């Protein structure tokens, strides 16, 4: 089972078990990770699941698709490492993935 580590803007870390096929958003909300509201339930329509992918993991996770990139335009603090957590599907190769939640979502 891949393990995902969530880090908040203050550096507090929490590692949780995930299942391949789940989204990062689903893993976060089912584990009460703060800073990921996911208001639209994963429909790529709210941007309240905006997260930063740790630099080392950017290649594995990949870039946002067109719709996701459009939604990211309404998010705050967007960087090259930004993704919408509901659009990132976890695979076994993401074991150890590190995700940071933006300060603006707290």
What's the CA gap between 59 and 4, in Å, rounded?
Answer: 16
Residue 60's H or E segment, with its range, is helix 58-61
Size of the residue set binding ligand FES (CB under 6 A): 15
Residues 58-87 contacting ligand FES, CB under 6 A? 71, 84, 86
Q: Among 44, 58, 69, 98, indicate the residue that binds ligand FES (CB under 6 A).
A: 44
- CA nearest to 10, candidates 80, 77, 103: 103
Residue 72's H or E segment, with its range, is helix 66-72
Q: Is 42 in the site for ligand FES (CB under 6 A)?
A: yes
Please report how close the Cβ of residue 44 comes to ligand FES at its closest, in angstroms: 5
Q: Is 90 in the site for ligand FES (CB under 6 A)?
A: no
Query: Which residues of the shown chain bind ligand FES in the complex (CB under 6 A)?
Result: 25, 38-40, 42-49, 71, 84, 86
């Amino acid at each position: 089972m891949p393990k995902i580590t969530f880090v908040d803007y203050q550096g507090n870390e929490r590692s949780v078990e995930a299942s391949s096929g789940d989204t990062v958003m689903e893993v976060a909300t089912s584990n009460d990770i703060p800073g990921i509201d996911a208001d639209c339930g994963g429909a790529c329509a709210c941007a309240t699941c905006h997260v930063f992918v740790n630099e080392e993991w950017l290649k594995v996770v990949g870039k946002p698709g067109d719709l996701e990139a459009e939604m990211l335009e309404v998010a705050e603090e967007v960087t090259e490492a930004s993704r919408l957590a509901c659009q990132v599907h976890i695979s076994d190769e993401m074991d150890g993935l590190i995700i940071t939640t933006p300060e603006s979502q707290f």
